[in-house]
Structures are given as structure tokens and as C-alpha cells.
Amino acid sequence: MTVIIGCGNLLRSDDGAGPMLIRKLWELGVPPGVRLADGGTAGMDVAFQIGDAEELILVDVCETGAEPGTIYELPGEEVETPPLKDVNLHDFRWDNAIALGRWLLKSRFPKKVTVFLIEAENLSHGFGLSSTVEAAIERLANELLQRLGGIVSET
């Protein structure tokens, strides 16, 4: 089974890209063997969503200074971060969840972890994505469906 988790805050404009991607995939149709989860902003929730996945895909936004809407694909092991000493739940992010999941699940941890990061244009308070990030979500949703054997949108 493949688990796709969208992370981010719907109340911070483009930061909601991960959860909005999950909604987009639901609209387009989820292929068999794929489970979707809205990871929101709670990294611990991400850790518990990993479950019995053979493949884990995480989606979030980033701010690197690149062109907004740029999509990066990274192996999970390149971005996983062990939880810091004395970390609290508010500071526990998806990169910590990957490390925790690897430690907790051991041999049951997904064989493949991929992280997709979408370059944000606007991270200010407010609901709704910039048109640039919305277009990136459309591209990424279609790419994921193509890879996972789903029906690709014509738009």
C-alpha cells in the first residue's frame, strides 16, 4: 500500500498546499492500494499515519527563494530529522515523523519514502492558494496518479 500525506496549514495561504493536494486527489479518484491522509501541522499525526505502508509520499511547501510553484522531489532519508532533545509536540514536524517512524516500525517502515516540496509564493495568514501553487498542485496530482496507476485529469 502507498500512503500519501499532505502536510501544512490551511490558514496560511500556500502552506495549505499539502492538504489541498489530498483533496485534489480525492476529487480525481484514488487508485486501488493508495491511502490518503491530511497530515495538517501535527508531525505526530504523520508518524501514526505511516502504519502499514510499503511506500510513503509526503507533500508540503517550502521557501527556498526559487520560482514559486517549483516542485522538488527528494528521497525521505535526505530530509528526515531525528527529534531534538526536549522537543514538544508543537515543534514535532513531518521530518521528525519520518525518523520516529523508522525507529518505531523498524523492518515494517516503508521501503520507499519520497518527499515532494512545492515552492510557496504566499505564506501570509489567509485561506486559499496562490494561482501558481494551485497549478503546481494540479501538476503534482496528475504526476502522482500517473505513477500510481490512476486516471489523470485532462486539465
Tell me the per-residue pLDDT of 71-114, one tens digit each, with 9 for 90 and over: 999 998 887 766 656 665 556 677 777 777 777 778 888 899 99
Which is higher by pLDDT, 136 or 95?
136
Q: Check whether 146 has a pLDDT greater than 60.
A: yes
Out of 2-6, 21-25, 78-82, 108-112, least confident range? 78-82
Distance in Å from the first CA to the final CA of the chain: 27
Taking the C-alpha atoms of residue 91 and residue 148, their distance in angstroms, rounded to an integer, is 32
Q: Check whether 11 has a pLDDT greater than 60.
A: yes
- Is residue 104 within 8 A of residue 120, CB to CB? The reply is no
What are the pLDDT digits (tens) for 28-66? Answer: 999 999 999 887 766 666 666 777 789 999 999 999 999
Q: What is the pLDDT of residue 98?
A: 75
Q: What is the pLDDT of residue 92?
A: 63
Give the pLDDT band of residue 129 (cuts 50, 70, 90).
Answer: very high
Which amino acid is located at 126 in the chain? G
Q: What is the pLDDT of residue 141?
A: 97
Sheet holding 34-40, edge to edge: 34-40, 2-7, 55-62, 112-119, 71-75
pTM over 0.75: yes
